[in-house]
Amino acid sequence: GQQLNQSPQSMFIQEGEDVSMNCTSSSIFNTWLWYKQDPGEGPVLLIALYKAGELTSNGRLTAQFGITRKDSFLNISASIPSDVGIYFCAGLNTNAGKSTFGDGTTLTVKP
Amino acid sequence: EPEVTQTPSHQVTQMGQEVILRCVPISNHLYFYWYRQILGQKVEFLVSFYNNEISEKSEIFDDQFSVERPDGSNFTLKIRSTKLEDSAMYFCASSVEGSSGNTIYFGEGSWLTVV
């Protein structure tokens, strides 16, 4: 089946630093979604990307849909303590179809 | 803001018992999903549902699982005879096809513990 490789697995950064994480796949996706998950809660959608090359921002977050349709990255600028959590990428191709999640990037922000 | 709601938030059940997890998707959404997340692991796709039928399912979604939309608002996941390894957080999600594409919104999850 389709697999997403998400990296890094974890990050320990100082408050105020920028963060970058990415997902790559051997398969093409038509949509990339980025989620943040806090412990014991459901994933919360951060950014949705629908077109190859698309660059989208949501506050301090910026994500891009790779030109090859096989990768995407998420950047967080000027990190703050509440950015702590697990970030997941997800790729999907069809409506009502299977979505594939990355393994997650655990972000720790030290004040 | 509309949200996906799930009940129960936590259920403990004995191995071999049947469990039904309930979800109310966002009202104008047409596509419904169930996902599973074993503690400390990634979110795994179980099944998608559209137009009153299963669209796609994963290898995890075997014969002990079933989904149903019994009325206009609820979407349920039934596990017929639970096993210890079914212990996980189960997330319901929904989406609507937009001009841009498909964005999936998740509920808060139902934590299932099988003992």
pLDDT tens, N- to C-terminus, chain A (111 residues): 668 899 999 999 999 999 999 999 999 998 999 999 998 889 999 999 999 999 999 999 999 999 999 999 999 999 999 999 999 999 987 666 778 899 999 999 998
Residue of B nearest to A41 (CA): B108
Residue of B nearest to A42 (CA): B108
Mean pLDDT over the full length of chain B? 91
Q: Which of B104, B105, B111 should we substitute to test contact with A (largest number of A Cβ atoms within 10 Å)? A: B104
**Percent of chain A whose predicted confidence (pLDDT) is above 90:** 80
Among A36, A19, A32, A20, CA closest to B100: A32
Q: For chain B, which ranges sit under pLDDT 70? A: 98-101
**SS3 label, residue B61:** coil
pLDDT for res A96: 60
CB-nearest to A98 from B4, B58, B106 is B58
3-state secondary structure chain A: CCCEEEECCEEEEECCCCEEEEEEECCCCCEEEEEEECCCCCCEEEEEECCCCCEEEECCEEEEECCCCCEEEEEECCCCHHHCEEEEEEEECCCCCCEEECCCEEEEEEC
Q: How many CA atoms lie within 13 A of A107 on its CB side?
A: 29
Give per-residue pLDDT as tens, B35-53: 999 988 889 999 999 889 9
Q: Give A-chain residues touching B111 at CB under 8 angstroms.
A: 40
Q: What are A94's two structure tokens?
A: 């069809």
What does the alpha-carbon distance between residue A82 and residue A28 come to, in Å, rounded to a whole number? 33
pLDDT for res B73: 86
pLDDT for res A99: 84
